[in-house]
Structure 1
Amino acid sequence: MTAERVYVHGMTHVDADMWTLPWRGLGLSSNLSTADVPQPYRLLDASPGLFDYVEYSAPLSLEEAKAHASLFPEMWRRRADVPVLFHPVHLNLWGPELEPASALAELDAHARTVGSPWVGNDVGWWHVGGQPFPGYLYFTPPFNAAGLADCAAHALHVQRHLSMPLVLENPAVLARRGEWHVLDFMSRLHARTGLPLLLDLGHLFSHQLSAGLPLEAGLDGFPLDQVIEIHLAGGVVTRRGSRQFYVDDHTQPVREELFELLESLLPRCPSLRAVTFEGDGHPPEVVMVSLRRLRRLVPASERPPLTLRTPRDLTVPTLTGESRPWELFDAGHGATPATSVEDEEGTLADRDFRLAVVAEVLDREWPLTRLLVAGTGESLAAFTGSPEYRGLFGGTGRSLGQVFSKWAMRRLREHPDEGASAALAVEMLLPTLFLRPVPSPGPGQVGLAEDVRPGALPADLSELVFAARAVRRHLTARAWACGSLELSGLESLAQVARRPGQGPWSFLVRRRGGAHEVLTVAPALAEWVRKLASRPMSVEEAPPALLAEAQGRGLIRWG
């Protein structure tokens, strides 16, 4: 499968001149979580031959992947019949620091253990010290000599530690930086490193739209004979000002232009070994439509192995830092003006996407506080441009939610009139309610559901909980109708936050997928649920009306 290697002090050295890569065919991507759709192995059980392999994303460490990927045991059992490709997306191929040798040793061991014949990754800056950027939204390097030099240093450094080829994927592009076309940049990176290429069609579309170019521009001079894998995924075309942008979002439908581009490229890529559909978030009945269409383009068949020459020189050049990754980080998060870097409009489009992802992540944990203190793009950028947010990437071990709460507390000290203190207090309380387990009901008993807990506060925030949902629903509906989000409507929410009702207030909280949802209920139901948290009770002693309501709202479980 791979060239022979000799391991000396944790470093790999080429001992043979060739890599031999098997044919993989058509594949489906996965994060190897039973909670995600589509679930690749259920699809294959229902439709054998629908695709040939699974390409999965996971941490570099095999042990960490086993601990976090709930589908890992099934992947491991079935890998002889359903081969895998490891696409880590935790791997920096640009950025201010090279990956630690220890992390790359874990990557190599991981890929060798699962039998991945190569490791592919987008050429970008993914993380700082192991802390990924929210939503795994990496930063794309500038397409110029400085960006090329730093990316080549990263790629060669990684390859020196791998037993299999590192395959370089063209990154997604919103902001135009540097004077080269992305395909020219990738061609030069291949020439500098000798490493094979992965062509992501959606990422290519993103560059072409941002630059105002036809979809196939630049392909004639691109070394398609070095492309061993192609990615196809969904995305959205959006407009900002006079420009169009392609937002790489795998949960969206695949654009028709990309299906057509794939069909035209397949006969032009003689070294192609794999075509991966990145169908993350598509339900089974939907992903099957796309896979059946792709199966006609990439039929199930065996092809002879491909032999590639290994790079002759794996000398790692000095990482110069002249491509200025931290400057792009600051501009991309609002810490500095978009005018401080190249392509102001593209930088603002990139910032919008990042802020949307940050807001989505925060809304799982801090939905009330986020709307009150960071409900607008300006206030959200005040958070992402803050020292607290920058500290997330300083090796503190804090989560995004933890640094947000720290920033929110500082903001409320500086702006006490915003009235979000009560909201912050209740949302800080919610996770602590689950520290104490609830007893399981026995036969003939009813008990509290495992994902529900009672809570109480001295101030009544039931109006605020209701208002947050009502305002969000109203503003979203108006945005769909008029094409813009009227954020001045958040003032009514701020008014409600400044007038909490008299307590005490009893409420319920439900935990779903790491998020906490506050449920407002009548006092009688809240008190009965509070008793269930201490002890289950027989069905006969449960008040029939409360029992029926609790069952209808999914608050209880039966013995």
Structure 2
Amino acid sequence: MPGFLDRVQALPTLGLGVSTEYGAGRADGALDPAALRREHVDYAGFLEVGVEIVKGLDGDARAWAEQGWATTYHFLDINLDEPEDFDDAWLDAVRATIELLRPAWLCGDAGLWHFGARDRGHMLLLPPVLEPEAVAPMAEGIVRLREATGCEVLPENPPGAAFVGELHLLEFFARVAEAADTGLLLDCAHLAMFQRARGLAPLAGFGDFAWDRVVELHIAGGREHERDGLAWVEDDHGVAVLPDTWAIAEAAIARASNLRAIVVECERNSIAEVVPLFERARALLAGREEA
């Protein structure tokens, strides 16, 4: 098989897209992805569908797929570093979902989605332990899922209020990408949370990162909290994007030579509320193209 830096040339350029997951559109004032596409086609070039296999696809995701519009598949239920998670029933259902969505690639937070056996609605998400010993098991899971589905698998840096391990988050995922020979999904909001938790500047660790492996970026709002002297950021996918997130996004867009897609994660907000986020993301992309 050709190496990833050769394979990436065959991946489509999707541009700006929006995310959803099962039932997201049912909340009052939630985003209608198809309506966003009708009103602002450049902001909804594709739909990133969050999939928990036991729930399946909701009406919004199915309607989008039936139109033949572009998608990506964002898994919500696999611990990549646990071989027992790759059971035949789950893999069969993943392949069936791929048949419906025809995603450009698979992606998802490479952390701990559940503790113990996978269970319906569990939806725990913790970051990986940032130690060298944790790299190989995660890389092996990425390769296994890629081979089982025939799709590229892009691991994403998960959110967290605290992170355990000696490695910087970017160094950890650069090692994973090299070991698995894969691309990456960089979540700018999640990285901003890590940098803040470690007391680092927003662009710390950027110098030696594997930017040519970054295929997709996420931009999302975050809500600041403080209690009893502990400060943290909630990954709420709201419309208040932190300045650190924008700074990371701008720097990442300038460096990611194989960037194919940007998702603005804002699924529970109205079109009027989210348009300014897409406008700013589009401006950052335009600046990259002009540079």
CA distance in 2, matches of 1:53, 1:163: 20
Query: Over residues 322-380 of structure 1, what are the superposed CA-to-partner deviations in whole Å (9 max), with x where a residue is unaligned?
Result: xxxxxxxxxxxxxxxxxxxxxxxxxxxxxxxxxxxxxxxxxxxxxxxxxxxxxxxxxxx
CA distance in 2, matches of 1:252, 1:97: 38
The answer to whether structure 1 residue 249 and structure 2 residue 236 are counterparts is: yes
CA distance in 1, matches of 2:107, 2:41: 26
Alignment of 1:167-246 (within 5 A): 167-240=154-227, 244-246=231-233
CA distance in 2, matches of 1:18, 1:230: 19
The answer to whether structure 1 residue 65 and structure 2 residue 53 are counterparts is: no
CA distance in 1, matches of 2:40, 2:178: 41
The answer to whether structure 1 residue 125 and structure 2 residue 116 are counterparts is: no
Give the secondary structure class of the aligned counterpart of 2:216. Answer: strand
Instruction: Mark the CA change 1:181 to 1:73 in structure 2 (over 3 Å): closer, same or farther.
Output: closer
The answer to whether structure 1 residue 46 and structure 2 residue 39 are counterparts is: yes
Asked if the contact 2:239–2:273 (Cα under 8 Å) also holds between the matched residues in 1, the reply is no
CA distance in 2, matches of 1:176, 1:151: 17
What letter corresponds to residue 124 of structure 2 in structure 1? L
What letter corresponds to residue 188 of structure 2 in structure 1? L
Give the secondary structure class of the aligned counterpart of 1:104. Answer: helix
Asked if the contact 1:233–1:278 (Cα under 8 Å) also holds between the matched residues in 2, the reply is yes
Deviation of 1:58 (Å) = 2.1
Deviation of 1:240 (Å) = 4.9
Alignment of 1:298-447 (within 5 A): 298=285
Asked if the contact 2:83–2:141 (Cα under 8 Å) also holds between the matched residues in 1, the reply is no
CA distance in 1, matches of 2:139, 2:78: 14
Asked if the contact 1:58–1:65 (Cα under 8 Å) also holds between the matched residues in 2, the reply is yes
What letter corresponds to residue 29 of structure 1 in structure 2? S
Counterpart in the other structure of 1:145: 132
Counterpart in the other structure of 1:288: 275
What letter corresponds to residue 22 of structure 1 in structure 2? P
Structure 1 gap segments, 5+ residues each: 5-13, 303-559
Which sits farther off after the overlay, 44-53 or 115-124? 44-53
Alignment of 1:251-266 (within 5 A): 251=238, 253-266=240-253
Give the secondary structure class of the aligned counterpart of 1:179. Answer: coil
Instruction: Mark the CA change 1:218 to 1:244 in structure 2 (over 3 Å): closer, same or farther.
Output: farther
Counterpart in the other structure of 1:388: none
CA distance in 2, matches of 1:48, 1:152: 36
Query: Over residues 160-191 of structure 1, what are the superposed CA-to-partner deviations in whole Å (9 max), with x where a residue is unaligned?
Result: 31211110111213223111111111111112
CA distance in 2, matches of 1:126, 1:221: 28
Asked if the contact 1:52–1:83 (Cα under 8 Å) also holds between the matched residues in 2, the reply is yes
Deviation of 1:111 (Å) = 2.1
Structure 2 gap segments, 5+ residues each: none
Asked if the contact 1:31–1:56 (Cα under 8 Å) also holds between the matched residues in 2, the reply is yes
CA distance in 2, matches of 1:187, 1:132: 32
What letter corresponds to residue 25 of structure 1 in structure 2? G
Counterpart in the other structure of 2:20: 30
Give the secondary structure class of the aligned counterpart of 1:131. Answer: coil
If the length of structure 1 is used for normalisation, what is the TM-score? 0.47
What letter corresponds to residue 189 of structure 1 in structure 2? V
CA distance in 1, matches of 2:121, 2:129: 18
If the length of structure 2 is used for normalisation, what is the TM-score? 0.86
Asked if the contact 2:222–2:242 (Cα under 8 Å) also holds between the matched residues in 1, the reply is yes
Instruction: Mark the CA change 1:49 to 1:150 in structure 2 (over 3 Å): closer, same or farther.
Output: closer
CA distance in 2, matches of 1:265, 1:146: 27
CA distance in 1, matches of 2:106, 2:82: 19
What letter corresponds to residue 44 of structure 2 in structure 1? F
Larger radius of gyration: 1
Asked if the contact 1:101–1:161 (Cα under 8 Å) also holds between the matched residues in 2, the reply is no
For this pair of structures, how many residues does the alignment match?
280
The answer to whether structure 1 residue 75 and structure 2 residue 64 are counterparts is: yes
The answer to whether structure 1 residue 56 and structure 2 residue 46 are counterparts is: no
Instruction: Mark the CA change 1:253 to 1:95 in structure 2 (over 3 Å): closer, same or farther.
Output: farther
Asked if the contact 2:77–2:113 (Cα under 8 Å) also holds between the matched residues in 1, the reply is yes
Asked if the contact 2:239–2:274 (Cα under 8 Å) also holds between the matched residues in 1, the reply is no
Asked if the contact 1:235–1:249 (Cα under 8 Å) also holds between the matched residues in 2, the reply is yes
